[in-house]
Amino acid sequence: MSEIELEALNFPDAPKMVSATFPGPKAAAALALSARTESMARGGGRMPVVMDRAFGVTIKDPDGNTFIDLSAGVGVSSVGRCHPEVVQAIRDQSETLMHAMEVNNTKRTDLAAKISEIAPDGLKGDCITFFTQGGSDALEAAVKFAKRVTGRHQIIAFHGGYHGIWNASNALTTGTAYRKGYGPFMGGVIHAPYPYAYRFPFDTTHKSAEQISGEYIDYLLNTPYTGADDVAAVIVEPVQGEGGYVPPSPEFLQLVRKACDRSGALLIVDEVQSGVGRTGKMWAVEHSGVKPDMLTFGKGMGGDVPMAGLIMRSDLAAKIPDGSAPNTFAANAMSAAVSLTNIRLLQDPKLDLINRAHTLGLEVQERIRSFNSPYVGEVRGRGLMIGIELVEDKVTKVPLTGEKLGKLMDYVLSHGVLMVPCGRYTNVMRVMPSLTIPRSLLFKALDVFGEGLAAL
């Protein structure tokens, strides 16, 4: 598909700010109403953007301002918002069947079959899907089932990991903001260092962060007296998301896989954020050649509608008793129809979106480095899952102050670009647009970001 065709799937005038103030009066009223009526425990509630309409990677607020969205709703809108084929699928499905509860529906069964086709090696062609509504409950399911099929109860997860906000999933997640005052969560979780080379707590002169982290998992799992004597699973993000967009080299997952094999623990990859084409392969785990035992998906699978779940090796799924995990809204026919459409678009050879994510991602990284900003400590990523770690000083790596990050965010937003930060210090800006983003809009938005950095 040509760039002109991709551009046609967006509002033509982005970015364009037309209100005299930002937020404009209508957005300000909506924000005030939201502050009075909705819990701000949700993420992003205080962001000064109000969405009214969206098309592709462009968003209009109620005052008529048009933004370019580099966040894709945190990697959700893999094929862009309101893609005409998705809208058509919703129209067709809404006239046929939407809710079916847990009874089979044709779209749901088609989707489970399709997922088996697109699953990574180790699961492909011989797996069973359990559908959920969001990523957190996919992780809850992963923990529940891993315990049941192994008869063990401990779980190893990683520092900086984000896996959700409920009991088991929050126990896996390390971010203070999500934990403080809410505990104790599910017991039996052991956290290990993630190979975040830029801020690794151990000396990497002789061994890489990936080697150290991978070997540490073997030490935990296969040595007496580490406390890890009954581990059901290691749960890991192949590219860490909320923890700062950290893409370890393949060796890390390879070492973790070997350690799991030695101990009989399952390897569960959480691809809620990294999956569905975002990193330049259908699944980020495929960059390592490692075969997972289970995989969680979410975000980009559903795109404009909620869809998430857990893919398991068939022999493991066979050990889970029928009817032991009902879920009223999972795999709603509408969500399944949209997911099938998303997968079809991602696999369309004319669009070639997944390879495009890979090549475009490399160009994005180059462009950001070319800004030569003293605040850019590191640019890293895989495909269109790119993190820009901002620091006060490249030598000391002191994270950019909250005040400066606020200024940068204000700059980009008030110039019509939507970006969301992540990272342990909220100092990593992410570039994670829809895979359909036209080059023109992508580089225009990056220019705004570069200007924002210069203005600091």
Mask: binding to ligand PMP, 155-174, rule CB under 6 A, as x and -?
Answer: -------xxx----------
Contact residue for ligand PMP among 136, 150, 213, 373 (CB under 6 A): 136
CB of 169 to ligand PMP, least distance (A): 7
* Nearest-approach distance from CB 185 to ligand PMP, in angstroms: 15
Q: How near is the Cβ of 207 to ligand PMP at its closest, in Å?
A: 27
Let me know the angle formed at the C-alpha of 165 by 270 and 245, rounded to the nearest 5 degrees: 45
Tokens read off for 288: 């390592």
Per-residue binding string, ligand PMP, 70-109, x by CB under 6 A, is: ----x-----------------------------------
Identify the residue among 66, 77, 263, 273 touching ligand PMP (CB under 6 A): 273
Is 135 an interacting residue with respect to ligand PMP (CB under 6 A)?
A: yes
Task: Give the residue with the Cβ less far from ligand PMP, 9 or 79.
Answer: 79
- Interface with ligand PMP, residue 270, by CB under 6 A: yes
Q: How big is the site for ligand PMP, counted in residues (CB under 6 A)?
A: 16
Shortest distance, CB of residue 386 to ligand PMP, whole angstroms? 15
- For ligand PMP, give the closer residue by CB, 253 or 453: 253
Instruction: Give the per-residue SS3 of the chain.
Output: CCHHHHHCCCCCCCCECCCCCCCCHHHHHHHHHHHHHCCCCCCCCCCCCCCCEEEECEEECCCCCEEEECCHHHHCCCCCECCHHHHHHHHHHHCCCCCCCCCCCHHHHHHHHHHHHHCCCCCCCCEEEEEECCHHHHHHHHHHHHHHHHCCCEEEEECCCCCCCCHHHHHHCCCHHHHCCCCCCCCCEEEECCCCHHHCCCCCCCCCHHHHHHHHHHHHHHCCCCCCCCEEEEEECCCECCCCCECCCHHHHHHHHHHHHHHCCEEEEECCCCCCCCCCCCCHHHHCCCCCCEEEECHHHCCCCCCEEEEEEHHHHCCCCCCCCCCCCCCCHHHHHHHHHHHHHHHCCCCCHHHHHHHHHHHHHHHHHHCCCCCEEEEEEECCEEEEEEECCCCCCCECCHHHHHHHHHHHHHCCEECCEECCCCCEEEECCCCCCCHHHHHHHHHHHHHHHHHC
Chain residues 390-409 in contact with ligand PMP, contact rule CB under 6 A: none
Contact by Cβ (8 Å): 95, 320: no
* Residue 54: how many other CB atoms lie within 10 Å: 20
Is there binding between residue 275 and ligand PMP (CB under 6 A)?
A: no
Residues 290-319 touching ligand PMP, rule: CB under 6 A, are 298, 308
- 84-94 and 333-347 are packed helices; what angle lies between their axes, rounded to 10 degrees? 150
Q: Which has the closest alpha carbon to 388: 439, 445, 339? A: 445
CB of 139 to ligand PMP, least distance (A): 6
Q: Is the Cβ–Cβ distance between 383 and 278 less than 8 Å?
A: yes
Nearer to ligand PMP, 136 or 373 (CB): 136
Q: Which is nearer to ligand PMP, 270 or 378 (CB)?
A: 270
253 binds ligand PMP (CB under 6 A): no
**Closest approach of Cβ 246 to ligand PMP, in Å?**
12
The answer to whether residue 241 forms part of the interface with ligand PMP (CB under 6 A) is yes
Query: Taking the complex as a whole, how short is the minimal distance between the CB of residue 422 and ligand PMP, in angstroms?
Result: 9
Closest approach of ligand PMP to the CB of residue 307, in Å: 10
Q: How far is the CB of 270 from ligand PMP (least distance, A)?
A: 5
From 141, 132, 256, select the one nearest 192 (Cα to Cα).
256
Query: Which listed residue (57, 86, 90, 139) binds ligand PMP by CB under 6 A?
Result: 139
| 417 DSSP β-pair partners | 68
With respect to ligand PMP, which residue has the nearer C-beta, 244 or 452? 244
The region of 97-105, 129-137, 211-219, 427-435 touching ligand PMP under the rule CB under 6 A is: 129-137
Smallest separation, CB 428 to ligand PMP (Å) = 14
CB closer to ligand PMP, 62 vs 302: 302
- Measured from the CB atom, is 302 or 377 closer to ligand PMP? 302
- Least CB distance to ligand PMP at residue 166 (A): 8
Q: Which is nearer to ligand PMP, 80 or 241 (CB)?
A: 241
Least separation in angstroms between residue 13's CB and ligand PMP is 31
Q: Under rule CB under 6 A, which residues in 42-61 are in contact with ligand PMP? A: none
Tell me if 194 sits within 8 A of 220, measured CB to CB. Answer: no
Q: Which residues bind ligand PMP (CB under 6 A)?
A: 74, 134-136, 139, 162-164, 237, 241-242, 270, 272-273, 298, 308
